[in-house]
Structures are given as C-alpha cells and as structure tokens.
A and B are shown apart, each in its own frame.
Chain A
Amino acid sequence: MSIKSGSSRAVIVRVEESVLLAIFADIHANRQAFSACLDFARAHGAERMICLGDYVGYGADPEWTVETVMGLVDNGVMAVRGNHDNAVGTVSETMNAEAQAAIEWTRGRLSAAQRRFLAELPLTLREDDRLYVHSEASSPAKWRYVQNRSDAALSISATNAHATFCGHIHRPALYSMSAAAKMTSFVPTSGVPVQLLGGRRWLAVLGSVGQPRDGNPAASFAMFDTGSREITYCRVPYDAEAAANRIRENGLPPWLAERLLVGR
C-alpha cells in the first residue's frame, strides 16, 4: 500500500506484545509528586517505566529522587538525560538565576556516584518505533523547547520514529504530522486515551511530574499502551504544600516553592 506523501512514512512496527508504559518527565527532585505518580501508575497497571530527564533542579529532594531513578534503571527502566541533570555535571550550562541557584545547591547534595549516573545518561533512547528524548529530536543537546507546530514539525521530521516522547516545557501537548506533512496540535484532556494512529507520526510532549506550569498544580505524566497505541495523559493531585515546605526549609528561592501551589 502506498500513501501519497512528501515526508518519510512511518516505519512499520514489528508486532509486539501489549505493554503498558508509564512515562515521567521533569520530576525535578519533587519527592511528593514523583511518589504519588509512581503509586498512581502502579495502581493503574503500569508494567514498565520510562524517564525523560530532569530528575533534579528546583526541588528539595535530589538525593532521594536520583537514588529512586538509579534503582529503577537497575531494574531495566529506560532513562534519558535532561538539561538540569547535565548542568549538575557541567558548569557551563546557562540557566536563569533561580534555576542556577537550585543547581548549585543540588550539586552539593549529590554523591559523586549520583553525579556520574546523571552525566552518563544518554540523550536519546530508541525502542521499537518509539523515541525518548528530553527536549526534542532535531537537536537533543540544544535543549530547544517545543512551543508550537513548527517546533514540533522540526522534531518529527528529524526522526523516523512513529512516536517521540519528550518533556522539557512542562506543559502537556500532542502534535501529529500527516502523510502529507500537515501538522495538528492538541492540548490533551487528562484521563481520555488518544490512539496514535499509524498513518501519521506523533510528538507527545509530556507535562511535568514535579513542577507543572500549565496552571494545574497536579503532577502530570502519561501512560502508553504499546498494543493499542493509546496514550493517556494523567493528572495526580499530591501534597504540594509539603514539597513547597521542603524547598523553603532548604533555603532555595521562595518562588520555587510558591509556583508549585499554583502550577506556574
């Protein structure tokens, strides 16, 4: 079968058994939010986890978070590196003042082994017809934000994966490119599964577990069924007040605590 197309067609997948993935992005050392998401995912039948980077920065529990992710990776979980993880090991990464203050504080908290773990994470991982990356696929080390359809088109065009999963911008969105290279954008409704149709290619931008910025303070992640190819964006309410208190107690910039309560 052929489809008239100006772009590369989606590669045909090998038929694999249906697995329910839980995909987490931008945990940002928020222990309360990540714990709530892990519990929610397990309770809803998640069989495997994928971690899309930015485990640290902003939040006040980097040791616990990195230790947890390291434990997951030891058990076969796939994890990629985010810009904050990168900044812990590289002084040259440019960031705004608050993020920079949090990174310097974080660096002092992590052990050498933990810092090495973060520094050695890959920028992208590929599994079947899926690509996992922190920022976007066209230039993963440049940490570009996917803010609109043309950013999304750049990422989708840079890979032959049927679906790319990323985070970084802390606002959930779902983009698709048709066989004729037309783009669609969509703000997902939480709890409503969307089938990633095989005739087009997709970029699923996940919301943030540990620092949502779409006006909804509930932690955000997604579940993906590899059999039915349905993605479900999930929102999990958690004790944001406790996470904010941890930030204040540790003398981190106060805005980092306040924004958790409003989701900005």
Chain B
Amino acid sequence: MVKPSNEPGAVIDGFTLGECAHRGGMATLWTVTRPDIAVPLLMKVPRVSEGEDPAAIVSFEMEQMVLPRLSGPHVPQCFGTGDFARQPYVVIERIPGKTLYGRLSDLPIPYQEARVLVGKIANALADLHRQNVIHHDIKPSSIMLRPSGEVVLIDFGLSHHNQLPDLLQEEFRLPFGTAPYMAPERLLGVRDDPRSDLFSLGVLLYFFTTGVRPFGETETMQGMRRRLWRDPHPPRKLRADYPPWLQEIVLRCLEIEPAWRQPTASQLAFELGHPDQVKLTARSERLKRDPMSTVLRRRFNRGLTQPKPKADLAAQLASSPIVAVALDTGEGSGALNDAMRVTAGRILSILPSARLACLNVLKLGRVTIDRTLDEQGNNKHIDRLVALRHWAQPLKLDDSRLTVHVLEAVDPAAAILEFAEVNNVDHIVIGARQNSLVRTLLGSVSAKVAGEAACSVTVVRAPRLASRHQAESANDKPLEARA
C-alpha cells in the first residue's frame, strides 16, 4: 500500500492538511480541515520511521484507543483515528491558547490564584477519572485553559484506561513519564491508582506556589527512587508566609503512600474550594523534613516500597464519595433531622473515605433588605454553622471528613443543586416535609433537588406516625373494601 504523503494540501481520510503546527520528538501536529466539521482541528501523526523510539508508537496507540472514548469539556474532542495498518493519526479539536508551561517564568504565582487554578485542574481530573482513565503525565505542558477558563487535559499517550488493555504495562523496563512529576508508586510499576495523578498535581501546586520543584529535576532512576522514602522540604521552610491550609493540601498530595493522600480528585478540589475548612494537622505546621530515623525506616520498610495488588479505579472512586446533607435547622425539624442522621450514618459507615458536607440554606427575601442579625442581634450565619456541627456531632466524624456550609439564596433548591454541581457531590441526602402549608404553597425543595440533580438523591422522611385522618378514613370504609 502506498503511504499517503504528509504535506500541505494532502488529503487523509477526508481531512485536508494545512500547515505543520508543531514538530515534536514523538509526533508531528498538522492543522487540518474537513468540510463537515466547523471547529478548528489538529492531526497528530506519530513519528514511526526507522530508528525512532518504540515509546512513540506505543503511546500513540494508547491515545488512539483512549481519545475516542473521552468526552466533556476537560478533554479535546476526537474526530477520527487512523491505524498503523495504513496511516496512523488522531484528529482532535484544536484548543486555542497555550499550555501552562508558558507560566513557568511567572513562578511563584499568588496563593489564591494557584488555589483556583489547581482546583480547576483537580475538577478536570475528577471528570477524567470518572471516565475510567488515569492520565499519568500531569504537568504544566499537558494542561491548557479554554478561553472560557475551563481546564483541558491533553496528551494521553501514557494513560491507563481501566476497561482497556494497558499497552504500556510491559513495554519498558523503566517507568515512562516525566520524572519531576512522577508518583513514587509508578517507580514500582503501579499503573492503576488514580491517586498517582493527585501526586503529580501536588508537585505542580508546590512548584507553582514556591517556584521550586519538590523533588528537583533528577532524571536518573536512583534520583527518582529517593521519593519513595524522602519527603520534600515543607513549603513554609521556603516561604515564611505560606498559608498552613495550603501546606496541608500540598503535603497531603505528596504523601508517599497513596492511601494517605486525598482519596479522590473531587475531594482535593473540595479542599481547594473551601480553604477555611481544611483540617490542619501536623503537616500544616511542619518547617522541617522528616527526621532521618523516619526516612531510614521507610527506606528499608518493604511494605512501603513493594507493589500493591491490582486496584480498581471505579471501585476506588465509589468508595470515596462526597455526600451532602441538606438540613433545615429551624423549629420543628427534630424528628426529620434525626432520621436524616440515621440515613447519613448508614452511608458513611461502610465508606471510610467518604466525606460529608452539611448544608443549610439561609433564605433571602426577594424584595426585602436582608439583615444578617436576628432580632436578638445574633449573627444568623454563625448560629446556623453551630447548629450544623451540633447535628453532625453524634456521627463522630473526623474533622478531615466533615465540612459545614451555610448557603445564602432566594431559591433553596437551586442553591443546593449549584453546590452539588460545583463541588462534585456524589450523593445528596435531603429531607421531605409532609403536609406542610409552606410546601403546598411554594413547591417542594426536595422534589426539585431529586428531579434535577446530576447525582443520586436520597429523600428522607421522618418515621411515619399513624395520623388521625388516615385512621378515621380507614374506619369509614365499608367492611368488604377492607377485607
């Protein structure tokens, strides 16, 4: 078969080649057009001539399998693939703008900017992980921002898809990836733990906020292996004004053991979205690295440096949900709130990595000017936070698993739905009031939330007590109808 020529104007499977946009070590990128596709396109053609690195072939094959299965705003849309049997290529949407690599000269960036940026990346990662894919090459040059501000992850050549063959599993003697960002377990051959991406994102967050890479730029296997036992310098040692909440988040991402990191990308995004509610542990205070005795114990503790049995991405995500409970703290909600605590407790008891967000909506009037103080001069907002904590207290959750939030809104259902959307909530628990006059007049908040939420919703009712009305009507019925 004749090899199709790669030059401007050439046509491959209906795509017309424009200019060469980039010539890299692994692949060449061409702008292409097809009459029926309106969005700007890029064709990625791997370099596969004699003497090229086999890694270029395998990572291209991985992209060829993974890209067509991805969807959503956080990945480039895929418009076609071609096989090695003829002309290998993938055609993807051309994302305007540059990668985060262009920001390296600005480092360190302000803490708040980094918090928002990395929060967006964590959200994009959460979306990717939910699609059964671990990226395995998170670094500034694989991250782009759309003009709308949304993060797009690119370059899936090293990815692992939980439901597809992993072509990189045996291919290379050394782990393949970008050394400064690579998670320690990757050095042991582990490719199925989504928390490897959280480690890489932690490296990026550390780098962007301190201007220093936590594990340097070493490329040697020996240099990389050191991160299996040696922790990085705490950021506060480098920058005295480093916020404790941020150090807590960064050092948790960089934990050597995946199990000690944030359980999911959604939970990392949640922490970054609510810095005032991050539970500060000894990590946040640290000014020095771990003592030599700890390092040596890790160095020679086989448990830490040995590979783990195969993990299941989907199962790991499912075991670490964010559960939101929407509570009414007003008068007369005691029985319902007790029932909601029982339900929340049941969900949390079997999921030790789940986290609970307790919500309360402070309803604002549509026309009145709202006062933040009640008639007695107490701050309504703080009162509600206290009430939420009081409600959650019997669940005896660790502070790292519990947050409380008072949302101010005109429309409570819309506020709960928005909170769930922004924070990647997996499960909403909400109470339904029975026979309330307010509900009859204004419609049911729980019905709207249950109807419109993108996640699972459990609607809880207070234990049923036989009502006088029901009892009477039953007695009124003719005998044969009751039989």
Contact = CB atoms under 8 A, between A and B. Distances in A.
Contact of B57 (A12, A194, A199): A199
A178 B50 contact: no
A194 B68 CA distance: 11
A189 B315 CA distance: 14
Interface string A177-195: 0111011111001001011
Nearest to A5: B54
B1 A12 contact: yes
Interface residues of B, number: 28
Given A10-B85, A197-B84, A186 B165 contact: yes
Interface in B32-50: 48-50
Contacts of B65: 194-195, 197
A186 B166 contact: yes
A10 B86 CA distance: 11
Given A3-B84, A10-B85, A197-B64, A184 B166 contact: yes
A181 to B, nearest CB: 10
A199 B61 contact: yes
Contacts of B84: 1, 3, 179, 197-199
B85 A4 contact: no
Contacts of A200: 61, 167
A194 B3 contact: no
Interface in A155-209: 174, 176, 178-180, 182-186, 189, 192, 194-195, 197-200
Interface residues of A, number: 26
B306 interface: no
Interface string B49-69: 111101001100100110000
Given A178-B171, A197-B64, A1 B48 contact: yes
A198 B83 contact: yes
A21 B384 CA distance: 62
B170 A149 contact: yes
B161 to A, nearest CB: 9
B165 A176 contact: yes
Q: Point out which of A1, A3, A13, A178 has the most chain B C-beta atoms below 10 A from its C-beta.
A: A1
Contacts of B85: 10, 12-13, 198-199
Contacts of B164: 186, 192, 194
Contacts of A180: 54, 57, 171
Q: Point out which of B51, B52, B85, B166 has the most chain A C-beta atoms below 10 A from its C-beta.
A: B85
A184 B167 contact: yes
A96 interface: no
B49 A197 contact: no
A197 B81 CA distance: 11
Contacts of A183: 170
A176 B167 contact: yes
A10 to B, nearest CB: 7
A4 B54 CA distance: 8
Q: Point out which of A4, A174, A185 has the most chain B C-beta atoms below 10 A from its C-beta.
A: A4
A183 B162 CA distance: 18
B163 interface: yes
Contacts of A4: 50-52, 54
Contacts of A178: 54, 57-58, 167, 171
Given A1-B3, A1-B48, A178-B171, A194 B54 contact: no
A94 interface: no
A2 interface: yes
B132 to A, nearest CB: 9
Contacts of A13: 85
Nearest to B168: A184
Given A149-B170, A179-B54, A199 B165 contact: no
Interface string B142-171: 000000000000000000001111110111
B180 interface: no
A192 B133 CA distance: 14
B275 interface: no
Interface string A52-87: 000000000000000000000000000000000000
Nearest to A176: B165
Interface in B73-97: 83-88
A149 B170 CA distance: 10
B49 A184 contact: no
Given A178-B54, A178-B171, A197 B61 contact: yes
A107 to B, nearest CB: 41
A197 B54 contact: no
Given A2-B50, A4-B50, A199-B83, 7 more contacts: A176-B167, A178-B58, A185-B169, A195-B64, A195-B65, A197-B61, A197-B84
25 contacts: A1-B3, A1-B84, A4-B50, A4-B52, A12-B1, A13-B85, A149-B170, A174-B165, A178-B57, A178-B167, A178-B171, A180-B54, A180-B171, A182-B170, A184-B167, A184-B169, A186-B165, A194-B164, A194-B165, A195-B64, A197-B61, A198-B85, A198-B86, A199-B57, A199-B83
